Amino acid sequence: MQKLLINGKKELSGKISISGSKNAALPILAATILSNQVKLTNVPLVRDIFTMVELLKFIGLKINILKKKNTIEIKNINKKIKTLAPYKLVKTMRAGVLVLGPLLAKYKKAKISLPGGCAIGTRPVNLHLFALKKFGAKIKIKNGYIIAEAKNGLKGTNITFPNVSVGATENAVLAAFHASGKTILDNCATEPEVKDLIKFLNKLGGKITILGRKILITGCKKIKKNINHEVIFDRIELGTYMIAAALVGKKIIFNKIDPTVIKNEINILKKMGVKLKTQKSTIEIFKSKNIKKINIETNPYPGFPTDLQAQIMVLMTKANGISKIKENIFEKRFMHVPELNRMGAKIKISRDTSLVYGPQQLNGAEVMATDLRASVSLVLAGLVAEDETIINRVYHLDRGYEKIEKKLRKVGARIKRVYR
């Protein structure tokens, strides 16, 4: 079993490179079902990406991964396509459900296993199915599978989502790409990752426009060939390392990013007393003392992301006073709290809100990761803690963070992976 060993209290200094966004790459990979030939660059080579690649290969796409270049080449030239996403390939990754829209749109049928992924709440697919039914699809759930059919093809429609959902928005956009006529989606997610998917689909021949929380789509009749697309940077990875820099950094530099994408997170760090400087494509974070308490709520973009909730909580343990964080997106997303408390944090949970009492000195301990973002919060805690921290179940970490030990060691962290 793999574990991470971290010896904390080591000041970090240098440059940390930010990978491409996993949450942008996954729906774009699903969208290649609609394409003929595509080259994707800046793809993070993490476990969820490899799982999606295996799923697309199973469906019938030909895929070549150029690992040294973080590039994936995809050809959809197989006439014998399987419109099936089996349990064994979907059970560990929620993004597997994103092949439902494109398979249904292009091949008029799909059978998709109900998805797995992180244990941070039910995260139901009901909004995905709600949208696809509006396009005219007939859907039933049987034996753990979503079975969908649209014998006469999908028809353009108007859909207003009752709640903002990134995955449902992406699946609806993918379905609408090949639907006849025009589609208007309202109350949509407008995350940068959704916008990157739309940018890719427009390169493919789509006619898709974003107006606030509305997305307007005209069904595509002709697919363009030989498409190249560079995946956007991972704003959650950037936010994670920015918090690491605020905790134990002397001077950490991030290049080739767009600070405007995470301006809300930057403003929150500034309010907490973190010293930083932004330029057009660079962020620098300097040694920060006297961290201030703050109250935060997670919300859909451009609000504070739920995927940084666990990480900012570690910084709150160093703040002067009581900080509060309210989780509005997912239930059960405080599973990292007992582990942080084992390390000396003082955090109290009341339903969807946590109170973080600071400042507290964290101490190394053996802890267990419960999901992707929870696992990286334990890494951050280990970096600032006294003595050695041992993190178990790091396979959660490998789902979304590329070369995390290498990146942290490069700036001075004492971190290593062991097999025992």
Catalytic residue numbers read 118
* Triad 153, 212, 240: Cα angle to 5°: 100
Whole-number CA gyration radius for the chain: 22
The Cα–Cα gap between 340 and 343 comes to 5
Please choose, from the candidates 60, 65, 10, the residue with its C-alpha nearest in 3D space to the C-alpha of residue 252. 10
Please spell the DSSP secondary structure of 170-206, one letter per residue.
Answer: HHHHHHHHHSBSEEEEES----HHHHHHHHHHHHTT-
Please state, in angstroms and rounded to a whole number, the distance separating the CA atoms of residues 217 and 182. Answer: 6
Q: Are 175 and 148 in contact (CB under 8 A)?
A: no
Q: Which ranges constitute the DSSP H helices of 192-271?
A: 192-203, 235-248, 263-271
| DSSP classification of residue 114 | P
**Which DSSP string do the residues of 36-94 spell out, in sequence order?**
SEEEEES----HHHHHHHHHHHHHT-EEEEEGGGTEEEEE---SS---EE-HHHHTT-G
Q: Can you tell me whether residue 374 is helix, strand or coil?
A: helix
- Identify whether the C-beta of residue 298 lies closer than 8 Å to the C-beta of residue 305: yes
